[in-house]
Every structure is written in C-alpha cells, then in structure tokens.
Amino acid sequence: MSKKSEGAAEPKVKKNKKSPGERLSKLLSAVCVLAAVVLIGVTALAFITSGKDKAPDTGSAAPEIITTEPATEPTTLASADTVKVKGTVYVTGTADYYAEPEELSSASGTLQAGEAVGLVSANKTWCRITYGGKVCYIQRKYLSTKKPEITTTQTAQADITAVAASAAERKTVNLEQKHWSVVVVDKNRQLPEGYEPELEYIAGSEYSLDARVADYYNKMYDAAYADGVVLTPYSAYRKYSTQESNYNSLVSQYTGQGYTRSEAEDLAAAEILPAGCSEHNLGFAVDICSTDESFKDTPEYEWLCENAYKYGFIERYPEGTKEITGVIAEPWHWRFIGPSYAKDMKQKGFATLEEYLQSYGKNY
C-alpha cells in the first residue's frame, strides 16, 4: 500500500450542486413572473386613460376644452370624438359660422373653403373657433387639419357670388342729366353696367380722362407748369377689369388675415373701391405724382390746394373725412366737378362733395 506524500491536501467536493437544466428552469420562472407584473400594470394604465380620452356626446351644447391627445390625429375633425389639434385648422367648403353653437340660430357670417381659423375646443358636433378677432362656432364637419386644394374656378366663383350680391344692393347713378359732373359714385352707388366714357389723353402722361374733363386738366397742368410745378399724373381713368383686379386682390389680403368676406370688403373699399364704384372708372379723377401720404407735404399739393378749384378740381378725400366719404385720406386724388361747383364749394368751406350736395338737398 503506497503512502501519500506530505502536504498534499485532499480535493474538496461541493455539495448540493444543481445541474444546468435546473438553473435554466429557475431563470425562466423568474422571467414569467416579471412579464406578468408588467402586463398587469399596462392593463391598469390603459383602463385609467381610456376613461379620460373619451369626450362625452353633448350634442349642441357648448364645446368642452380639449385636453387630450389621441394616438392618431384625425384628418377630418368629425372623424373622432376628440381631436389632437389645438391651433390652426381649415374650412373645407363654404360654411356659416355662429355666435352660439345652435344650427338654427342666425348665422353671423360665412367662411370660404381654404380659410384658416383658430381651433379652441370641440365636441362631437361643434367647434369653437377664433376668426377675425372673434370667438364663434362652426359645425365640426366643415373643418380639417389639412388645407384643402382650392381651384381657380372655385375662387373665382366665390368672388363672383360676393360681388354680385353687393352689386344688387347698390344704386345705379344717372349720368344722362344736367348735373353730370357732380355725380357721386362710391361703394353704395355704381355706374351703369358696361359704362365706358369717351376718353382723351391728358398732358404729362399716357393716361386719359373723360373727354369732357381732359381739357380742364390740361389747362391746370399748363398753369402749374408756368409756376414751376409739374403735376405728373400717376393714374387716371381705369378700366373696369383693372379696378376689379385691384379691389379683389386687397380683399384677398384681408381675408388671409382672418377677416370675414364682408369685413374684408368693407376694409378694402376704404382704400380701393369696387369696380364700377370708382371715380377712376368714371373718368373724372386723377392721382397726381404718387399715392403716398407724403404728397401733402409737397409743392404740388400746396399749389393744387390754392388753384385746383379754378379748373374744376377738388381734393376728393381730405384728411379726417372718412366717416363721410367712406374712403381714407388721399391727398393725391383730385376729382373734377366743374369750375362753378368747385368755386362755390370752396367759398362755402365744404370739405367733401357729399356735404356740399346735402347743403342743397341733392344726392346725385
């Protein structure tokens, strides 16, 4: 029997050692428990948030404030009970808006396809919006988070409809009368349909005026020139189509700023009158040198204020008379009314043609 060498220790054997299969089984059990805990938590959270996300159907009651954001943003606001958007949305077609969310109440105005409005809140039927500085209501089915594509035909038709409605309410002036030179045209009084004056070119430009007026302007131009002042015409007679384009362009600028069509028309008419309502269409008016307010500080303006009446011209829209004329101050815009009327108006101290005619009880 051999003898073991000294100092050699016996190998230690670890007791209760588990096999690889047993360790894997225990790990899988732990993972399953963790997964179950996570699933329970997710289910509970979904149950809690589902109660918050669903907006009550309040019919035509005042819209509730939107505070939730569903996972999917609807393209059309009518496609879900609540909406994600709380900002700018777009009108999908011609639609009325109201002071209160009641369909049968009187409409406050009409919005056109493509117009942008501010969305404040919504329920299943109505949206509370801001438009033109006002808070109002519109049926939700007419709004979309995407701006619709508007064809040229649709835009033109909207303009034609609006202009036709306004034109139907205007008085048509009579130019076949003794007092033809003091006829007033404005946003409430228009020229006869298809009216075109006989024209003659005027001095200092390629512009023209009514043939009955042109010679008076030429004499005024020559007199001013002799005094060292040049009254260069900046604009005179305008075709109907030119006036229409200018006016509609300004209306579009205002509707783009959030004003209603009616509001935009009123604002535009204070600067550029509708076609057929302008003294430029009449052929009696000249814009001299520029269309800038600074013109009132020029030698040309000073000369006109002192001498224009002698040739039958008046400053048509003086400063501070917008409430009477409906038009903002335009120191460059001079209108022919005839030497006798202009002299009488100046001597009696009337600032506007409207006041002058009213003093005689006339309204041509």
Return the active site residues.
Answer: 330
Smallest CA-to-CA distance from 244 within 168, 352, 162 is with 162
286: which strand partners? 334
- Rounded to an integer, what distance in angstroms lies between the CA atom of residue 63 and that of residue 57? 10
Cβ(128)–Cβ(135) below 8 Å:
yes
The Cα-based distances of 262 to 166, 216, 266 in angstroms read 10, 38, 6
- Rounded to an integer, what distance in angstroms lies between the CA atom of residue 332 and that of residue 296? 8
- Rounded to an integer, what distance in angstroms lies between the CA atom of residue 194 and that of residue 172? 12
Where are the strands (E) in 92-239, listed by range? 95-98, 107-111, 116-122, 126-131, 134-139, 143-144, 171-172, 189-190, 199-201, 208-210, 233-235
